Amino acid sequence: MTSGKPFEDAVRDVIEAIPAGEISTYGEVAAEAGYPGAARAVGNLLRSTPGLPWWRVVAANGRLVPGHERHHAQHLRAEGVRVRRGRVAMGARS
């Protein structure tokens, strides 16, 4: 089932609604936007769309963006998210 909105708009709305200090997974964003199973497409959109708070989105296992772990962790830590060894603790999320 889709949201009725174009994919990009629906995903942007979901990502922009993630509060500072909270995280979501690519799959959660896709599902909430109305496109379950489109986690990879969410990642591609984040990679190509400046201005979105991309750092609030992580892999389902808490892994940060490969190759950008340090930068990703800096953003998350600035918002109070605990990061250790390139991951966030998914069980400790709010």
Query: Average per-residue pLDDT in the chain?
Result: 91
20-38 residue pLDDT tens: 999 999 999 999 999 999 9
Question: Using CA atoms, how far apart are residues 13 and 21, in angstroms rounded to an integer?
Answer: 17
Where do the structural domains in the chain lie, given as residue ranges?
7-92
Give the number of C-alpha atoms closer than 13 A to the C-alpha of residue 23, restricted to the C-beta side. Answer: 30
Task: Determine the topology of domain 7-92 in CATH.
Answer: Arc Repressor Mutant, subunit A (1.10.10)
**For the whole model, what pTM was predicted?**
0.88
Our CA dihedral for 91, 62, 79, 16, rounded to 10 degrees, sits at: -110
79-91 residue pLDDT tens: 999 999 989 988 6
60-72 residue pLDDT tens: 999 999 999 999 9
